[in-house]
């Protein structure tokens, strides 16, 4: 009898636990399936759109979705994006989240600078800055030709090399179209994004080329898709003379040139 009573009690307890679990599970399912109101993009919201414009231009609309379908960070009120600016595109029909927006400090040029990136403006003639060709968003390489002195008793060596690669163009200014960045002048200008370490190299080459008549710098436009880089190299008059020519032929040419003097 005692064993029977214990078995019945345990069975009753098990039944109560199962009932409790099933009840909680049903409530959880019903909670997840309950419809809630979310804000979605009524049309595409481009990067750089102010939160005030998002609201004023009716870029938000409401939609009923199951609670379990709500995206993490989804906003529940337009006021949550009012003081912000979109830093990532939001496509029509997509739930609007705070992750796609940032503070107003991220607008304009500052929005394209993070971490060690800096904006550096260079001015030069139309050939140096590819005036009429460069556009904001392009990527360029910075090449320098430098007249380098080896010492008091040695001849100067003029060499060229790609100093920095893959710099993003932030803004361009053509002397013929008026000033957009910096002050107006007869030169064109370009604003590039580079790291602070890269800016040191470019500043040095820029200063040397302004002081030395045999020095020069220029920008080179990179391909818009699948750009590749050749191995780094240093070119001088000597390397150009020897490039693709056998030593015997080169010696013969030089001997002839010396003998003709």
Residues 209 and 127 in one domain: yes
Q: Out of 24-28, 102-106, 230-234, which region has the weakest mean confidence (pLDDT)?
A: 24-28
Q: Range of 61's domain?
A: 35-106
The pLDDT of residue 146 is above 90: no
- Mean of pLDDT over the chain: 82
Q: What pLDDT is attached to residue 251? A: 77
Question: Average pLDDT of 222-244?
Answer: 86
The answer to whether position 241 is within a domain reads no
Q: Is residue 87 part of a domain?
A: yes
Residues 80 and 148 in one domain: no
- Two structure tokens written together for 236: 């001088």
The mean pLDDT value for 113-133 works out to 89
- Higher pLDDT pick, 94 / 8: 94
Same domain, yes or no: 101 and 162: no
Residues 226 and 135 in one domain: yes
Confirm whether 220 is domain-assigned.
yes
Q: How far apart are CA 235 and CA 1, in angstroms?
A: 103
Asked whether residue 246 is assigned to any structural domain, the reply reads no
For residue 49, what are its two tokens? 């759109």
- Residue 79 sits in a domain of what CATH number? 3.90.1210.10
The answer on 170 and 147 residing in a single domain is: yes
Tokens 């932030």 sit on residue: 170
Residues 17-39 as b/e (b if ≥16 CB within 10 A, e otherwise) read: eeeeeeeeeeeeeeeeeeeeebb
At residue 25, does pLDDT exceed 70?
A: no
Q: Are residues 161 and 66 in the same domain?
A: no
**pLDDT tier for residue 204 given thresholds of 50, 70 and 90:** very high
Q: Which has the closest alpha carbon to 212: 161, 254, 170, 157?
A: 157
List Cβ neighbours of 197 (8 Å cut-off, separation of 6 or more).
116
On whether residue 68 sits in a domain, the answer given is yes
Higher pLDDT, 170 or 24: 170
Weakest-pLDDT range from 12-26, 43-57, 209-223: 12-26
pTM (2 d.p.): 0.57
Distance from C-alpha of 39 to C-alpha of 75, rounded to nearest angstrom: 7
Question: If DSSP states are collapsed to H, E and C, what string results for the chain?
Answer: CHHHHHHHHHHHHHHHHHHHHHHHHHHHHHHHHCEEEEEEECCCECCCCEHHHHHHCCCEEEEEEEHHHCCCCECCCHHHCCCEEECCCECCCCECEHHHEEEHHHCHHHHHCCCCEEEEEEEECCCCCCCCCCCCCCEEEEEEEEEECCCCCCCCEEEEEEEEEEEEEEEEECCCCCCCCCCCCCCEEEEEEEEHHHHHHHHHHHHHHHHCCCCEEEEEECCCCCCCCCCCCCEEHHHHHHCCCCHHHHHHHHHHHHHCC
- Pair 50, 153 in one domain: no
- For residues 197-205, average pLDDT: 93
In this predicted structure, the answer to whether residue 260 has a pLDDT above a threshold of 80 is no
**pLDDT bucket at 256, cuts 50 / 70 / 90:** confident
In terms of Cβ atoms closer than 10 Å to its own Cβ (0-12, 13-18, 19+), residue 248 is exposed
Number of domains in the chain: 2
Q: What is the Cα Rg of the chain in Å?
A: 34
Q: 156 and 226 share a domain?
A: yes
Task: Note whether 154 and 64 are same-domain residues.
Answer: no
Q: What is the mean pLDDT of residues 132-154?
A: 83
Indicate whether 148 and 204 sit together in one domain. Answer: yes
Asked, for residue 260, whether it belongs to a domain, the answer is no
Same domain, 147 and 66: no
**Residue at 121 is within a domain:** yes
- Per-residue pLDDT at 261 exceeds 60: no
Q: Once rounded to an integer, what is the mean pLDDT over residues 180-201? A: 77
> Looking at residues 51-59, what average pLDDT do you find?
90
The answer to whether residues 178 and 100 belong to one domain is no
Q: 62, 85, 106 — which closes off a domain?
A: 106
Q: Which of 106, 135, 152 lies at the terminal end of a domain, its last residue? A: 106
- Write out the two tokens for 69: 């379908």
Q: Is residue 21 part of a domain?
A: no
pLDDT, residue 27, reads 66
């Amino acid at each position: 009898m005692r064993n029977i009573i214990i078995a019945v009690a345990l069975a009753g307890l098990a039944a109560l636990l199962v009932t409790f679990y099933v009840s909680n599970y049903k409530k959880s399912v019903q909670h997840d399936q309950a419809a809630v109101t979310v804000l979605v993009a009524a049309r595409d919201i481009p990067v750089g759109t102010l939160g005030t414009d998002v609201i004023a231009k009716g870029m938000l609309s409401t939609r009923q979705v199951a609670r379990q379908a709500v995206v993490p960070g989804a906003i529940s009120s337009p006021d949550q994006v009012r003081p912000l600016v979109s830093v990532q595109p939001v496509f029509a029909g997509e739930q609007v989240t705070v992750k796609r927006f940032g503070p107003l400090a991220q607008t304009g040029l500052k929005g394209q600078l993070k971490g060690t990136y800096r904006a550096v403006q260079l001015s030069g003639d139309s050939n140096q800055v590819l005036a009429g060709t460069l556009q904001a968003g392009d990527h360029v390489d910075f090449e320098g030709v430098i007249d380098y002195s080896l010492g008091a008793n040695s001849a100067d060596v003029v060499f060229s090399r790609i100093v920095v690669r893959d710099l993003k163009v932030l803004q361009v200014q053509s002397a013929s179209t008026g000033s957009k960045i910096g002050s107006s002048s007869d030169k064109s200008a370009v604003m590039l994004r580079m790291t602070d370490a890269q800016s040191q190299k470019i500043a040095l080459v820029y200063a040397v080329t302004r002081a030395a008549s045999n020095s020069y710098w220029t920008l080179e436009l990179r391909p818009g898709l699948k750009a590749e880089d050749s191995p780094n190299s240093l070119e001088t008059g000597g390397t150009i003379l020897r490039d693709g020519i056998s030593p015997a032929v080169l010696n013969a040419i030089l001997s002839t040139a010396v003998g003709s003097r």
